[in-house]
A and B are shown apart, each in its own frame.
Chain A
Amino acid sequence: MPEKVIEAEELVKRYKTVVAVNGVSFDVYQGEIFSLVGPNAAGKTTTVEILECLRTPTSGSATVLGLDVLKEETQIKKRIGVMPQDFNAFERLTVKENVELIAKIYNVKPDLKQVLGELGLWEARDRKFEALSGGMKRRLGISMAVVSDPELLFLDEPTTGLDPQARRETWEVIKRLKRIGKTVVLTSHYMEEVEHLSDRAAVIVQGDIIAQDTVDSLISQYGGGFKVRVANRDKKVEELFTQVAEKVYTDENKVTGRFPTRQKASKALASVYQLDDKYVVDIVEPSMDDVFAHLAGGRVDERGELI
């Protein structure tokens, strides 16, 4: 079992009448990507900011890299890297100057060509922050978080507001961080992102973690199974699904059967083709979207709002 790098116990953060975090507990293990996923105002940022020593919990306790967030702030800050939500750098400083500033604060002398090169920023090293695209800004944020070669990285909503291309580029960067052995704590309201990047995830809604596990387990537990969807509604298919599927959904144009495992869904698909190989059939895999819908009773839109 890998070593625990974060242990959070019953963390509570209360602001006068508002409870932002309501007793969350979770562990993060070395080398994994752990995601806190949920809509806006769910308590994701507040939770990670407690771990980054930027907020003091009202109650509960947490250790980061074995250090107490209440007592060993400076030691923790020296060993973590942070990219805050809505990241910004000095606008009129260049990419290189911004990264150098952070390196000097950590009192390290990194190989900037390597750091910036790995994030595709070396060519843009003399460009001012204000002149960078949204995707490049986020990559600079990540380079500022990794320049001190931290053991643990906190990336708070690293792709919010980016276009799909820039988002995918950022995902590649995060996956590379995992490959070189970094532990990453990610917050996101993009279910696809969490599913694509995370080893484990915690679903957080209104300050409570309502489920946490590996992404695969969450999907298998709460994803609602695999769906075999047949275009053109047909009585024979309906009869077949009634016998083999957990549940059958029909509408004007199609018949859908739900199956608990991929194997059972594949078997059902083969049976449909046996009836007639002209049917248009596909398998819809369960996703974190389904997990969230199942657990929270709604979906999260592009802006992070619960709908």
Chain B
Amino acid sequence: MNNSSRTSGGALVRFERLEKSFGQRSVLRGIDLSIEPGQFVAVVGRSGSGKSTLLRLLCGLEQPSAGLLLVLDASGADARSGVRVVFQEPRLLPWQSVLDNVCIGPQKPDRERGLRVLDSVGLSDRVHEYPGVLSGGQRQRVALARALMHQPSVMLLDEPFGALDALTRIEAQRLVEQLWLEHRFTALLVTHDVSEAVLLADRVLLIDQGRIAEQFEVNVPRAERRGSAELAKIAASVLDRIFDASSSNAFQTPESVPPTLISDTKAVPAGT
């Protein structure tokens, strides 16, 4: 484990002409992207656009077919060992207690830190239980704690709120934001929920057909974001752009529009 990557603060993430194909099928076609340390970036796009592949490349579950992928700490050293993931499913080991799940890894478990991290996600009273008895939102908080355990330099969030009910989702979004403000890791959130993307991110990337189709800066102060009209406007323009992009490629992407994309337009102004 690289020591410098464990100090607090995020890592720099850079993709250069990154490509990924599975056999004949090209999924990512030349991604150029730089994410500053500590920035919160959301990636939106329709299913099959390649956004999840981007995340899987970053955490080493896939290898790029061409191009460069860098994760660098403040001293310029490779910080890929500090990349942590929260998946859409909690993916907890059912046979280990909540605390043991958080302490997973080849290193000797630091149980005291595990307890502190669980406390920071509000689960200090469930540490010795099995994941099977927790609710969906609680399991996802355990997964968050597990990712926080080793001072991540980059936190990858792969639709982590997708399976949660509406109220639990708001709670979980707030928790992620608060933890990010506290730890200042670099965050990459993959989501198909545009309102969620603009709510949490500094910058929203739209991926379409394996390319970054557009980037949107979100400059609304975080404290004023929920229910902000300006935020709703940004969300609307992101959605417009998604539909533009997909209507021009209508024949290449036959999938139907995910229903969440439509309902989100209404959800943003109403979601106070």
A binds B: no
Query: A-side interface residues toward B, CB under 8 Å?
Result: none
